[in-house]
Amino acid sequence: MNKKEDKLDAIVALSKRRGFVFQGSEIYGGLAGTWDYGPLGIALKRNIQNIWWKRFVDDRTDMFGVDAAILMNQKVWQASGHASGFSDPLVECKKCKHTFRADQIADPKKCPDCGSELGSGKQFNMMFETQVGVVKDESSKSYLRPETAQGMFVNFKNIIDTQHPKLPFGMAQVGKAFRNEIAPRDFLFRAREFEQMEIEYFVNPKEWEKSFEYFREQMKGFMKDVGLTDSKVYELEVLEADRAHYSKRTIDFEYEFPFGKKELYGLAYRGDFDLKQHSDFSKVDLSYYDEEKKERFIPHCIEPSFGLDRTVLAILCDAYTEDEMGSEKDSEEKEKRVFLKLHPSVAPFKVAVFPLLRNKPELIKKAEEIFKTIKKEIPATVFDDNGNIGKRYRRQDEIGTPLCVTIDFETIEKGTGVTVRDRDSGKQERIGEVELIQYLLKKINRTN
Ligand code: ATP
């Protein structure tokens, strides 16, 4: 593979071929900026989400999960500044009428598609507007939320009143966000409907730097958990002029995608902007009383923000590998192998179980027995007896299954166990039935 864009095309093709991700509304020609996850994609996405939730919510005592409604009172977006300011610069070609984001094209005067002159441009608000209820007027206007963050700020008082937390504490949420992007592109990278995993961590203003640095490390820890290659992640200190209106400091974590180094996650110091705005607009007191210091103030906020779909894409790009290895039929014969070198923690299936041949009932019976035993301990295990064994290995390689267990005649005739094939090296080992579960668990880094 020579060109970098070819890699993205290959990943898009694999995603469709194997049931990770399909184009949204595909049978009607699609809907730009929307993607549908298939069985493998949803398993990968859920694994990422669960790892995130475990690290940032379940393993801690200072984080409170919420799941706020996507539709919110329009005043939320007036207070947050999105109604007036959540826009990107739009330019339209005078000839072909194609539209572009002015800050994403090389020459803001020349159409990248036909070379003609571009119009003068305007700000385009990216929020999807909708109407709530039967009466269509200004008062029933609402929006599909463009970020999950506001769902947490508006619930700040509910958390204080019901959970009685002490500062510092945080709120966490995973959910859909919608942005009418001018130019959705690069597969899952820039979509119009996507998922975010966000934290709003509230601190005493005097201590914001400590928490900022702490979450910077936590974010790196998460990237390690899901197996992203360290050297492909870059930290970028965002200059004041480029920061969002609410941010006093921002670090972008960029990832080396096949189409360039682009933002994967953001870490922002939002100060007291949001709670103050919501206090002003709602007339509800959103301050915090520190019992020990006997002081009342509006906490400041640190926001680690993660795109879930961008994580799926980064993981697929990181894992996509092509190499040459001897085929199973003839070790002299070299053939191209495509595989996903997924970290076992995110792989949709951890183990695949096959009978060596599909027309031998005694092999199938034994394979089914072993499959059931493994599945009890490792639920993400799949049984595969489709096609010949070579095809099954290829299929499991392409979906990133780390281990394949094959039941052959030796298993039933000599009782010498099964073969376990490692996805990355292609090497097989014979493992006794008694040790099998422990061996597999160790390989996929689980101790239970
Ligand atoms: P960009 O500059 O790429 O448009 P942003 O800075 O506007 O992104 P944020 O508002 O900080 O993004 O959103 C937080 C996270 O949500 C991003 O780091 C990214 O992972 C994800 N995200 C934002 N926009 C999209 C999108 N259109 N499609 C998929 N994920 C997105």
pLDDT tens digits, 254-276 = 999 999 999 999 999 999 999 99
> In this structure, which residue's CA is closest to atom 3 in ligand 1?
263
Q: Is 349 in the pocket of ligand 1 (CB under 6 A)?
A: no
Q: Point out which residues pair with 404 in neighbouring strands.
A: 352, 421
Q: Is 181 in the pocket of ligand 1 (CB under 6 A)?
A: yes
Helix (H) or strand (E) holding 43: helix 39-53
* 42-59 CB burial, b ≥16 within 10 A, e <16: bbbbebbbebbbebbbee
Place of tokens 């934290």: 199
Place of tokens 């739009």: 90
The better pLDDT of the pair 228, 88 is held by: 228
30-72, pLDDT tens digit by residue?
Answer: 999 999 999 999 999 999 999 999 999 999 999 999 999 999 9
Q: Which residues contact 107 (CB under 8 A, 6 or more apart)?
A: none
How far is 260 from 283, CA to CA, in rounded Å?
45
Helix (H) or strand (E) holding 440: helix 436-443
Do 185 and 299 touch, CB atoms closer than 8 A?
no
What's the pLDDT band for 334 if we cut at 50, 70, 90?
Answer: low
Q: Which residues contact 305 (CB under 8 A, 6 or more apart)?
A: 147, 149, 196, 197, 198, 199, 265, 266, 267, 268
What's the pLDDT band for 23 if we cut at 50, 70, 90?
Answer: very high
100-154, pLDDT tens digit by residue?
Answer: 888 888 888 888 889 898 888 888 889 999 999 988 888 899 999 999 999 999 9
Q: Is the per-residue pLDDT at 78 higher than 70? A: yes
Do 55 and 221 touch, CB atoms closer than 8 A?
yes
Three-state helix/strand/coil letters over 90-133: EEEECCCCCEEEHHHCCCCCECCCCCCEECCCEEEECCEEEECC
Range 73-96 average pLDDT? 90
Q: Is 178 in the pocket of ligand 1 (CB under 6 A)?
A: no
| Residue 153 identity | F
Percent of the chain with pLDDT over 70: 96
> In this structure, which residue's CA is closest to atom 19 in ligand 1?
307
Place of tokens 């799949």: 382
Q: Collapse the DSSP code of 410 into the 3-class scheme (helix H, G, I; strand E, B; otherwise coil) and give the result.
A: helix
What's the pLDDT band for 4 if we cut at 50, 70, 90?
Answer: low
- Tell me how many degrees the CA angle 342-344-349 measures, rounded to the nearest 5: 90
Quote the pLDDT of residue 1.
Answer: 56
Lowest mean pLDDT among 132-146, 163-177, 276-290, 326-340: 326-340
What's the pLDDT band for 9 if we cut at 50, 70, 90?
Answer: very high
Quote the pLDDT of residue 325.
Answer: 61
Quote the pLDDT of residue 447.
Answer: 37
Quote the pLDDT of residue 448.
Answer: 30
Place of tokens 């769902």: 151
Q: Collapse the DSSP code of 175 into the 3-class scheme (helix H, G, I; strand E, B; otherwise coil) and give the result.
A: strand
> In this structure, which residue's CA is closest to atom 29 in ligand 1?
190
What's the pLDDT band for 445 if we cut at 50, 70, 90?
Answer: confident
> In this structure, which residue's CA is closest to atom 23 in ligand 1?
307
How close are the terminal C-alpha atoms of the chain, in Å? 41
Lowest mean pLDDT among 168-182, 199-213, 414-428: 414-428
Number of H helices, E strands in the chain: 13, 24
What's the pLDDT band for 173 if we cut at 50, 70, 90?
Answer: very high
Q: Is 37 in the pocket of ligand 1 (CB under 6 A)?
A: no
Domains and CATH numbers, the chain: 3-71+147-316 (3.30.930.10), 349-444 (3.40.50.800)
How far is 76 from 356, CA to CA, in rounded Å?
60
The atom of ligand 1 lying closest to the CA of 266 is 18
Distance (angstroms) between ligand 1 centre and the Cα of 306 equals 8
Tokens (6 digits) for 61: 């005592």
274-309, pLDDT tens digit by residue?
Answer: 999 999 999 999 999 999 989 999 999 999 999 999
Q: Collapse the DSSP code of 372 into the 3-class scheme (helix H, G, I; strand E, B; otherwise coil) and give the result.
A: helix
Q: Is the per-residue pLDDT at 429 higher than 90? A: yes
Do 406 and 418 touch, CB atoms closer than 8 A?
yes
220-232, pLDDT tens digit by residue?
Answer: 999 999 999 999 9
364-394, pLDDT tens digit by residue?
Answer: 999 999 999 999 999 999 999 888 888 999 9
How far is 80 from 35, CA to CA, in rounded Å?
28
Residue 61 CB burial class (10 angstroms; 0-12, 13-18, ≥19): exposed
Quote the pLDDT of residue 109.
Answer: 84
Cα dihedral sign for 220, 222, 228, 229?
positive
Quote the pLDDT of residue 414.
Answer: 85
Do 443 and 403 touch, CB atoms closer than 8 A?
yes
Residue 316 CB burial class (10 angstroms; 0-12, 13-18, ≥19): buried
What are the backbone dihedrals phi and psi of residue 16, each rounded to the nearest 5 degrees, phi first? -75, -45
Interstrand relation of 381-383 and 351-355 (parallel, antiparallel or unpaired): parallel
pTM above 0.75? yes
Percent of the chain with pLDDT over 90: 75
Distance (angstroms) between ligand 1 centre and the Cα of 307 equals 6
